[in-house]
Structure 1
Amino acid sequence: MKNYQNFTCIFIMSLLLCSSCVSRKDTTYFYEPDELAIPAQISMEQPAKSFLTIQPNDELTITVSAIEQEAALPFNPPVTGSNNVTGGTVNVGGAAQLQTYLVDQNGNIEFPVLGTIQVRGLTRVALAEKLKNMITDYVANPIVNVKLSNFQVSVLGAVQRPGTYTISNEYLTIPKALGLAGDMQIYGRRDNVLVMREENGKVTKAYLDLTNNSVIDSEYYYLKQNDVLYVELNGSQRQAGSLNPNSGLFISVASVLISLVVLFVR
């Protein structure tokens, strides 16, 4: 009986040793040591913001308005197949739809009256200003509004709600993207978050440490259209995933057999 008790104690201690403690640093975003009396002040430089630039395959919504709205109508074509058109919008099932422009592989769009316009690499504001200057030859004091209508990011891996999200705001940070996905799960790695980005036909990867305050200075902190954010599992969860799903049953059976053996041999 004594041998059985010793064996049980050793078995329990082994299980405890196999489980590792998780430090606050490993589970906290923008970590600051407890011993700091005054938290570090973070200054965000304007260049750190990754302004969205227009890329091939983007979809743009462009509206032109003016005091004399009739003069702006040629620049607001109706959606094809519309029966109820007012200005540059169409009502389908009670909801207004706007004409969109697909950026081709050369970075151009075909715009009414003006023809082919190069838009690749321009920000939303820069394109609006460019169109305004060109439309001024036809319309007095035009107002041009440009919106990226297919701004989407994908958040994958160890988050609560992985998926692809459509963004209405021009700026999206990594914490906001994680918030859309319900935040990381507790066993997600916060020190090695992957951002995949495709620009100008090239895919780049960046691994970011979200436990470090300096991450906000990274050009990847502000996400761009079609970025993929991936949170990998920590080491213990990867190991758990590699175990046989019947391991728990095997351990239970082994424990019963050991108990029976001890009872018979004592």
Structure 2
Amino acid sequence: MKSKILVVLVAFWLVSCKTNPNAQNDLNYMQNIEKVAIESSSRNSNSTIQTGDQLVILITAKDMDVVKPFNQNYSSSELIQTNNLAGGNTPNQGMTTISGPTYVVDVDGNIDFPVLGKINTTGKSLVQFKDDLRDRMTKYIINPTVSVRLSNFKVTVLGEVNKQGDYVIANGQGTILNALGLAGDLTMYGKRDDVLVIRTENGTVTHGRINLQDADLINSPYYYLKQGDAIIVSANNTKNITSKQNPNTGLYLTAASIAVTAIAVVVGLFKK
């Protein structure tokens, strides 16, 4: 009788360990990335201004009355808010204010600036564009100060992190560590030695992988983020194994326990 009970227990154990055929074979993101033909980009310099970027431009000088025509109808009471500490689901946390008139870069890479008219931003970084604008302003203003900031520098963080979502990084400057920090760090199931970064810049798509356990990551062209970067943290083997287990395992174990108890009771009655 004991051997029969043992056989029943083993049978229930085998059933409970059966994997769910409907479960995904692997939870990792972008598994076919290496098979996709992606054009490599040799540009590892600072981000260039892209179509759709929102540039906050403020011109100042010793005599502020002189610069008023170049600042639209802006007043110091106007503020533009960006969220640099939370994703789209928590828009009220960590608000940062950016002050100044906003100009949206059109599909041709131009902005329409007061007095100066259309100014092209194609292929220019924020610093280069600021220098160009300052040179133009010296024709009208003595010693002008030009401030150019990007108000919609957004990156996306997906995968095994605690808070997936889109994040706006203040000042348009950030590293992959900043972005992962905003996303609440990796979960215990995240692969820290293989973080994928997808980048689209000037119509060119590139990708790179970063090992967070290697300090040499600071030398990677993907360490400093660029506008629109997508960071994807894959799941490790532990998460993959867990995902393949039958979700009804707990029910099977409970049924097995009840069955064993019933058999024990029946055996006890027969003995009497």
Pick from 51, 54, 66 the counterpart of residue 49 of structure 2.
54
Which residue of 48, 72, 75 maps to 1:77? 72
Partner of 2:166: 164
Contact 1:62–1:146 under 8 Å retained in 2:
yes
1:173 pairs with 155, 171, 175, which one?
Answer: 175
- Flag the 1:209–1:61 CA change in 2: closer, same or farther, 3 A: same
**What RMSD over aligned residues (CA atoms) do the two structures have, in Å?**
3.1
How much has 1:206 moved relative to structure 2?
Answer: 1.8
Q: 1:109-120 alignment to 2 at 5 Å?
A: 109-120=111-122
1:162 is displaced (CA, Å) by 1.6
Match of 1:129 in 2: 131
Give the TM-score normalised by the residue count of structure 2. Answer: 0.70
How far apart in 2 are the matches of 1:191 and 1:263?
54
Is the alpha carbon distance of 1:146 and 1:97 closer, same or farther for their aligned partners in structure 2, counting shifts above 3 Å?
Answer: closer
Over the matched positions of the two proteins, sequence identity in percent amounts to: 41
Higher relative contact order (CA 8 A, sep 6+): 2
Give TM-score scaled by structure 1 length.
0.72
On the 8 A contact 2:9/2:260 being kept in 1, the answer is: no
Tell me the distance in 1 between the aligned counterparts of 2:238 and 2:193. 15
Residue correspondences, number = 221
User: Per-residue CA shift, 1:88-113, capped at 9, x if unaligned?
Assistant: x4548xx9953211111221111111
Change (3 A) 1:97 1:147: closer
Distance 2:232 2:264 in 1: 49
Find the aligned partners of 2:234 and 2:266 in 1 and give their Cα distance.
48
- Structure 2 unaligned spans of 5+: 17-42, 80-96
Residue from 87, 100, 103 that aligns with 1:101: 103
SS of corresponding position for 2:227: coil
Q: 1:247 aligns with which of 231, 246, 249?
A: 249
Closer/same/farther in 2, CA of residues 203 and 97 from structure 1, 3 Å limit: same
Which of residues 199, 202, 206 is equivalent to 2:201?
199
CA distance in 1, matches of 2:6, 2:245: 28
Instruction: Give structure 1 stretches of 5+ with no counterpart.
Output: 16-47, 80-85
